[in-house]
Amino acid sequence: MSISKKRAVIALLAISSLIFTAACGDGGAARPNTGNNQDGSVNAVSEAPAAYRNSCIGCHAADLRGNVGPNSNLQKVGSRLSRDEIADIIANGKPNTRMPAFSKQLSEEEIQELADWLAEMK
């Protein structure tokens, strides 16, 4: 393989890994679009705790519809899960899904604030 082809492959791999790692838990790199969506619905994130905007929006979106499949939709999570179940999933992740544990990235207060807010989504 020529040097230019090797460089192209390495560049493609680097770009791919950046895109992949930016998908969830972006550490605040993504900033929410507050106000109204194009369809007229209001972005839930305008009232979201800072931890949601900084750690969750990459996978769950500004409108809570989810960016990584139907299981990432949080629009009515409070009607499916209790507040304590939500807090447990935030802290410990959800096995066999793309939901990671955030107990090392978020404080207990941030996790509880997120759980309280999400439990209201019905």
Kindly list the domain boundaries of the chain, sorted by start residue. Answer: 3-119
For residue 38, CA distances in Å to 32, 114, 118 come to: 14, 26, 23
pLDDT at 87: 98
Q: What is the pTM of this model?
A: 0.66
Give start and end residues of each alpha helix (H) in 33-82: 50-51, 57-60, 77-80
Q: Which residues are annotated as a binding site for heme c?
A: 56, 59-60, 99
Which residues are annotated binding-site positions? Answer: 56, 59-60, 99
- 13-68 confidence digits (pLDDT tens): 666 554 544 445 444 333 333 334 444 444 566 789 999 999 999 999 999 999 99
Do the Cβ atoms of 37 and 63 come closer than 8 Å?
yes
Fold entry, domain 3-119: Cytochrome Bc1 Complex; Chain D, domain 2 (1.10.760)
CB 23, CB 30: distance < 8 Å: no
Packing angle, helices 83-92 and 108-119, rounded to 10? 140
On whether the CB atoms of residues 8 and 36 are closer than 8 A, the answer is no
